[in-house]
Amino acid sequence: MLKKFLSDKSVFPLDYNTPWEITSRLCEIINQLMQNLDDNYTIDNGVAVHKTATIGHNVTIKAPAILSANSFVGSNSYLRGGIFLAPEAKVGISCEIKTSVLLEGCAVAHFNFVGDSIIGHNVNIEAGAILANHYNERDDDTVFVHWEGERISTGLHKFGSLVGDNCRIGANAVLSPGTLLPPQTIVNRLQLIEQDPL
């Protein structure tokens, strides 16, 4: 379903070849999508909120952002840098979500950071998990991904994870930049996923 969703030009209308091209152009994509939203959305300063979406107290949402039908953002959360919440996507309390797509039925619990990532349908991310988007500890902080035995440069200094449909990420787990999780993957609590070790 994730592949089908990402290839749907009615959802992501711009041409791209890789997931990191989506995140690097997410603000542009969201601004284009916003032009075609119906009357069920209220748009204020570049933030579009569906009439059935729920936003808790003390939430900060920086444009551009789209919060779709029945999406939820818990109190004290911070959304920035281009955000797309699909229908039924949930962000718990005190989370930071940066330049990311959360697809239908995705749930990010609370006290999480998700950076420059695409999260598939029905993914559950438990409390305290981090989807890191930057190699602070490397002199060359370019993010690489590993796919079918090949190490591929994203050409970016910030790219988080591509998380397939129905994955489960345990509490306080860390996904290093450039993580690709196939559908149905289970990440244990406190586990580090490091796909590009030096």
- DSSP sequence for the chain: -HHHHHH-TTTS-S--SSHHHHHHTHHHHHHHHHTT--TTEEEETTEEEETT-EE-TT-EEPSSEEE-TT-EE-TT-EEEEEEEEPTT-EE-TT-EEEEEEE-TT-EE-SS-EEES-EE-TT-EE-TT-EE----TT-SS---EEEETTEEEE-S-S---EEE-TT-EE-TT-EEPTTEEE-TT-EE-TT-EE-SS--
| Residues comprising the chain, all counted | 198
The question of whether 50 is a catalytic residue gets the answer no
Indicate the pairing of strand 41-44 with strand 47-50: antiparallel
The active-site residue, picked from 110, 134, 146, 157, is 110
Active site residues: 110
